[in-house]
Amino acid sequence: MIYFDNAATTYPKPRAVYDAVLRAMTEAGGNPGRSAHRLSMAAADIIYDCRCELAEFFGCSVPENVVFTYNTTYALNIAIKGLVSRGDHVLISNFEHNSVLRPVAALASRNVTYSVFDARGSTVEVLNSIKSLVRRNTSAIICTHVSNVCGLELPIAEIGEYCASRHIAFIVDAAQSAGVRPIDMRAYNIDALCIPGHKSLYGITGCGAVIFNEKYRESYIPFSPIIEGGSGVDSLNIGMPSLLPERFEAGTLCVPAIAALLAGMREVRRVGIDKIAQHELKLKAKLCELLSEMPEVELYLPSCDDESRPGTGVVAFNIKGKPSSDIADAFAKRGICVRSGFHCAPLAHKALGTGPDGAVRVSFSMYSSENEVRAFATALHEIIAEG
């Protein structure tokens, strides 16, 4: 089997991740933060270690500002619905996933309006697009770091600098970049960073996090959670605790998934994110070279002439005149896993001009190889010949 659907979730995971999940279940099987017995304390220790290492990895000096969620989508909902107030205006990019677009659109019920900036082109062009749309009541810019459709990287350092200069909150969707592109919340002026555990940090499905900037130093955030429930602290209070992280962590956390995230992140750090990124980009370049030799193939590569924004190992394409779902099925019959359709990102498909059926997406991980890329190209030749 060739697995090229890593932008959905990475597979396989490092051996240490499988071991960590089993260990969490056998040696830390209590409910974290609820009791003082050994199994509960062991679970709480895993969570705390993961909080500390995530905070350090992403440039936040306050581990309590790491709030665990179930995935990136929950993290984005907490940040967006919290940091944006009634009547505000916000900006999003034209490469957003539905986990940004839908919560932002839903805020229409609170009279929140939004505009869409163009993330294609040079950094100056992207910033100009943003500046042309900012209004007096713009309170937040919410954008993906890297597109899940084509791997385009947005200039988040520069957008963050602009946000800080205008006192605009900056919320970053790092679903595709956490673990494969450097992110420093402090340097990039990010207010809330939303990450998954299960993609390039090589954890399993079931957990993600929103990390609030360390400027929220009092570990207090004035806005409301989106879910209320038990938190293991302040039980006599009918309201949610005011402190991070408990304010946003209602109910029992998924300890095995957090253990997996911790083990995956350690593996990423051991290998080195630069090395992983270079490997994936080398495969992307090879695949693009092979695809561009096939006249039947249409490649969707947005222009970005900035070397500091190389993006990630994601490639979108079509065989002209063939539905992307048929192409993905033909690959699946050959034991090759790719994803077709719109990838929950209709704005990105519109910007790329992929047409009525979306596109086929190939996405690499640190375990993908050049031999697999060659085998993929051979299979594509066969599929084209089949008509």
Residues of this chain that bind ligand PLP (CB under 6 A):
8, 71-73, 97, 99, 144, 148, 173, 175-176, 196, 208
* Cβ closest to ligand PLP, residue 102 vs residue 269: 102
Q: Which residue is nearest to ligand PLP (CB)?
A: 148
CB of 61 to ligand PLP, least distance (A): 25
In the complex with ligand PLP, which residue's Cβ is closer, 75 or 380?
75
Rounded Cα–Cα distance for residues 169 and 143 (Å) = 11
Rounded (to 5) percent helix, strand, coil in the chain:
40, 15, 45
To the nearest whole angstrom, how small is the minimum distance from the Cβ of residue 87 to ligand PLP?
26
Q: Which is nearer to ligand PLP, 96 or 191 (CB)?
A: 96
For helices 38-57 and 255-271, what crossing angle results, to 10°? 40
**Minimum CB distance to ligand PLP, residue 88 (Å):** 22
Q: How far is the CB of 133 from ligand PLP (least distance, A)?
A: 21
Kindly state the smallest distance separating residue 131's Cβ from ligand PLP, in Å: 24
Question: Of the candidates 119, 79, 118, 117, which has an alpha carbon nearest to the alpha carbon of residue 99?
Answer: 79
Distance CA 183, CA 346 (A): 26
Q: How far apart are the first and last CA of the chain?
A: 23
In 3D space, the residue among 149, 182, 187 whose CA is nearest the CA of residue 275 turns out to be 182
The set of residues, in sequence order, having a beta carbon less than 8 Å from that of 273 and lying 6+ positions away, is 179, 180, 181, 182
What's the closest the beta carbon of residue 90 comes to ligand PLP, in angstroms? 16
Q: Of 148 and 368, which has the nearer Cβ to ligand PLP?
A: 148
Which of 210/273 has CB closer to ligand PLP?
210
Q: Which amino acid is at 53?
A: E
Q: Which is nearer to ligand PLP, 40 or 93 (CB)?
A: 93
Rounded CA-CA distance 224/110 in Å is 14
